[in-house]
Amino acid sequence: MTRTRRHSFEEEGPLHSWNKPLENLPEEMTVIWSCTNTGCASWMREDFSFKEVPVCSLCKSPMVSSQRSLPILMSSDQQVKRFRKNQQKAKVTDKVLQDPKEAPQ
């Protein structure tokens, strides 16, 4: 009998640093399409809709336009790297403000 261990991202976090979720992502009000079927929770960003009035891809019901606060999408790896670098700088600054003895020399 072979035992297999399932990896749980909630328990241990991602395996590689580039897979870490970004913290404190800036959000903005975004126009979305929401499914009108009460039993379906499907939605999509308006920017990713190919039709003027889309139909839900899961249940084929019509969709209505609405807004939702969503993270701003970053379009390139450079933007993601820059954002992560700024996050690290902010963490160091916060530590220094809390305890100046821990400032990097």
27-35 and 43-45 strand pairing: antiparallel
Cα–Cα distance, 62 to 45 (Å, whole number): 15
What pLDDT digit, counting tens, does each position of 49-66 carry? 888 889 999 999 999 999
What pLDDT digit, counting tens, does each position of 2-43 carry? 555 555 444 455 455 566 666 677 888 999 999 999 999 999
- The whole model's pTM is what? 0.53
Sheet bearing 63-71, strands edge to edge = 43-45, 27-35, 63-71
